Amino acid sequence: GENVEQHPSTLSVQEGDSAVIKCTYSDSASNYFPWYKQELGKRPQLIIDIRSNVGEKKDQRIAVTLNKTAKHFSLHITETQPEDSAVYFCAASIGPSNTGNQFYFGTGTSLTVIP
Amino acid sequence: DAGVIQSPRHEVTEMGQEVTLRCKPISGHDYLFWYRQTMMRGLELLIYFNNNVPIDDSGMPEDRFSAKMPNASFSTLKIQPSEPRDSAVYFCASSLSGSLDEQYFGPGTRLTVT
């Protein structure tokens, strides 16, 4: 089955700097790659996603890049702010398909933005 | 719509006891998912239902775990007997389709087994 690895597990940056979180996956059939932000004690919130037919997607200060050949995708946050502090985790999804959908998640990166 | 509703929000129980977690999906959503989140393993899909029918339960860790969806508006995840390693946050999510991009997560139930 799919194996999603996420690095780093913790990341501290100064306010205003950029943060980059990387994930790798193993199954070339994976075709959808979302990123979630989870604040302490809260539910995961989808913040950006990318599909396998796209190499890059941007939404204001957040961007995601996908390298299908290398099987890795990354989350980029520019001009970080203290409110960006949270746990971020990635996922790789195979589907939809007649045999059902499969989701695999990274173990998360705890991002701290230092004012 | 109030979103996905889970109860209880916190549960503390002793090892060996039965635990039942409850979920009410968003009205009209045909898919319901149960996840477990721990520090060590992150977020794991346990089981999901389509139109009240379990589709994939390969993520259920062992026979102590069971899930039911008796109707379109209610699902339960039961652990019997519970063990300390079951301590985690359990999320329920629902969606119109089965894909990840349309899932709405509930607030989660934090389970502590002592």
Query: Which residues of A fall within a CB distance of 8 Å from B25?
Result: none
Shortest CB distance from B101 goes to which of A32, A44, A102?
A32
Q: How far is CA B52 from the centre of its chain?
A: 14
- Comparison of pLDDT for A25 and A100, the residue scoring more: A25
Residue B10 has pLDDT above 80, yes or no: yes
The pLDDT of residue A98: 47
Query: Which residues of A fall within a CB distance of 8 Å from B10?
Result: none
The pLDDT of residue B1: 62
The pLDDT of residue A97: 54
The contacts of residue B79 (CB under 8 Å, 6+ apart) are: B18, B19, B64, B65, B86, B111
Contact A102 B56 (CB under 8 A): yes
The contacts of residue B28 (CB under 8 Å, 6+ apart) are: B96
Terminal-residue alpha carbon distance, chain A: 41
| B100 part of contact set with chain A, CB < 8 Å | yes
Q: How far is A79 from chain B (nearest CA, A)?
A: 26
Residue B92 has pLDDT above 70, yes or no: yes
The pLDDT of residue A108: 94
Across chain A, mean pLDDT equals 91
Contact B100 A34 (CB under 8 A): yes
Contact A101 B106 (CB under 8 A): no
The pLDDT of residue A2: 77
The pLDDT of residue A100: 58
> Would you place residue A68 in the very low, low, confident or very high pLDDT band (cuts 50, 70, 90)?
very high
Structure tokens at B61: 């860790």
Residue A115 has pLDDT above 70, yes or no: yes
Q: Which residue of A has its CA nearest to B47?
A: A102
For the segment B16-23, the average pLDDT, to the nearest whole number, is: 98
Query: Which residues of B fall within a CB distance of 8 Å from A42?
Result: 107
> Would you place residue A52 in the very low, low, confident or very high pLDDT band (cuts 50, 70, 90)?
confident
Contact B99 A93 (CB under 8 A): yes
| B30 part of contact set with chain A, CB < 8 Å | no
For the segment B56-77, the average pLDDT, to the nearest whole number, is: 94
Q: What percent of chain B lies above the pLDDT cut of 90?
A: 82
> Would you place residue A53 in the very low, low, confident or very high pLDDT band (cuts 50, 70, 90)?
confident
Q: What percent of chain A lies above the pLDDT cut of 90?
A: 77
Taking a C-beta distance cutoff of 8 angstroms, is the pair B32, B55 a contact? no
Name the strands in the sheet holding B65-71, side by side, starting at the edge strand that comes first in the sequence: B5-7, B19-24, B74-79, B65-71
